[in-house]
Structure 1
C-alpha cells in the first residue's frame, strides 16, 4: 500500500486525496493549524490525521501539495526541513520558474520531484478533472498509479519539471481572465439597465461566459485563490517575454473581491462588491 500525504485538504485537495484512498492508498493529513472546514472534509473522506509534518515525512511515500499559489514555496520549504526523501508533488498553479525553485529545494533533501497541475473541478461522481504530471519518468508513473481507475485522470507530459505548471497557467490565463471580464461587462450593462439586452446577445452566440451570470458570484467567492493564480500566470508570461497586461488586469478585478473569501453571494451582491471595493 502506498502512503500519500496531502497538504492540505481544501475543497480540491481533499477530493483528490479521497480518490487516491479509493484506489487503495492510505492518506495522511496534518490537522495542526487547519480550519474546522478542513477538519470536516478530512473526516468525511476518511483521511488519517498525523501529529505533524515530521510524522508525515517519515510515513509517506508521496506528499502532494495542493494549496494557494502564494503558499507553495513555503509549504515545500517546510517539508524539506524535515527532511523528506520520497516523491514530492507540487500540484499548485504556479509559474514554471517557481516550480523550478521548489524542485531545487526538494532535490537538496534527496526527494524526487513531480510537477503537477489539476485542471477541472474537484473530482466527484459526475466530475473527472485531469491531473497533468511532468518530471522524472519513474516518479511520474508512481504518482499516476495512485489514481488509476479513479475520477482523477492522470495525463503524463514529456519535457520535465515546469511543463505541467506552464500548461495550467496557459489554460488559467484564458479561463479565469474570461470569467473576470464577463463579470465587469455584465456590471457595466446592469449600471445602464441593459443587462437583459446583453444576456440576449450572449445567448445568441454558441458559447459565451456573458450568458453564465450565475457563475459571477462563484468567481467572487473563488477570487481569493484565483487572483494569486493570475499573478502567477503573469509571471509565466513575463518569463517568455509575452504581454502580461490582460491577466494582470484580471487579477486586479478579482482582488476587488478579496474580502469576500468563501462567503456565498448572490449576483447583485457580487456586482455591488466590485463597486464598493473601488472606493476603499
Structure 2
C-alpha cells in the first residue's frame, strides 16, 4: 500500500526517514514555510515534495513529527489550529520529549489519533538501521509498523499506552548523553594534569556499559556514603581547572539520597525505592 506522509520537519533524521520512505514508493511532503536554507537543501536532496502546511495536513495519511524537542508542542499546535482532526491521518510524535508532553500533544490533537514514537540509533543512511519504538492505539501503531516495512528502520511496538516509547527514549538518552558529557569533563580534568594517556588506559580495560549491569544499582547504593564525598572532591578538582562542576555535585547529591543504605544488601527494586523521595515521583501506577 502506498501512503502519503507529511514530514514535520526534515532535519538530518527526518530527511533520512523521508528518503527511505520515498525509495519504497511512498509520497513524502514537507512544508518549506519558515525553514532554514539547510533544511531546504536536505529536503531537496531527499526528493521531498513541498506543500503549504494546510495542504500537507489535508493530503497526508500519516503526519510524522521529527523536529527539535523544544518545538514539538508548537508543531502539534500548528496542526491542531488547522481544524483537520477528522481527516483520518495518524499523527506520529517521534521527538525526544517526556510522556507528559506526548499526552498534552495527544490532547491538543484529539480526536486525531496520536502514536507515541521514539527513534533509537543513527539516521538510516549508509546501512545504519535505527529502531522506531511505538506505543499508543494498537490499530494505528500497527499501520505505522506496516509503513516501515522494507526500509532501514526497524519498528518495535511496545503496547497501547501513550508514553511508553518516550519514556524508553529518555531513560536511554539520560544515560547515553550525560555519560558523554561526563566523559568530556573527565578527559578535561585529566588533560589539565597531564594524565590523559593513563586515563584512557584505565578506561580501555572496561568494555561493557554500566547501563547493562543492573546489579551495580544496589552496589552503588551501599557505597554511596563513600562515593558522595569523593565526588564532592572531584567537583572541586573540576572547579580548580575551570571546568563545569554542576553534574558532579548533582551526582553527589543523588548519592546522598542513599545515605540510609550504607553497606546494606538491597535488591534493585529496594535500591530504586530508596533513591526516590516521597512526593518527588510522578510515575505511572
Distance 1:122-1:238 versus aligned 2 partners, 3 A rule: farther
Contact in 1 for aligned 2:137/2:160 (Cα 8 Å): no
Give the corresponding residue for 2:71: 71
Cα separation, 2, equivalents of 1:144 and 1:73:
24
1: distance between equivalents of 2:193 and 2:35? 44
Cα RMSD over matched residues?
1.7
In the superposition, relative to structure 1, how do residues 238 and 6 fare at CA in structure 2: closer, same or farther (>3 Å)? farther
1:71 deviates by 0.9
Other-structure match for 1:239: 282
Which structure is richer in relative contact order (CA contacts within 8 A, separation 6 or more)? 1
Deviation at 1:204, TM superposition (A): 2.2
Instruction: Kindly tell me the number of residue pairs found equivalent between the two proteins.
Output: 211
Residue 95 in 1 paired to residue 138 in 2?
no
Match of 2:244 in 1: none
Cα-to-partner distance string for 1:102-149 (whole Å, 9 max, x where unaligned)? 001111xx3111000000000013210000011111111111122101
Larger Rg: 2
- How do 1:194-273 residues align onto structure 2 when only pairs under 5 Å count? 194-207=195-208, 238-240=281-283
In the alignment, which residue of structure 2 is the partner of 1:84?
84
Gaps of 5+ in 1: 210-236, 242-280
Contact 2:138 2:160 in 1 (8 A): no
Q: How does 1:1-280 map to 2 (within 5 A)?
A: 1-50=2-51, 52-85=52-85, 86-107=89-110, 110-207=111-208, 238-240=281-283
Query: Cα offset for 1:23?
Result: 2.1
Contact 1:125–1:151 (CA under 8 A) maintained in structure 2: no
SS state at 1:180 partner: helix
Structure 2-normalised TM-score?
A: 0.71
Post-superposition shift, 1:73?
0.5
TM-score, length of structure 1 as denominator length: 0.72
CA drift of 1:238 comes to: 4.9
Structure 2 regions of 5+ residues with no counterpart?
211-279
**Counterparts of 1:202 and 1:126, CA distance in 2:** 29
Shift of 1:208: 7.1
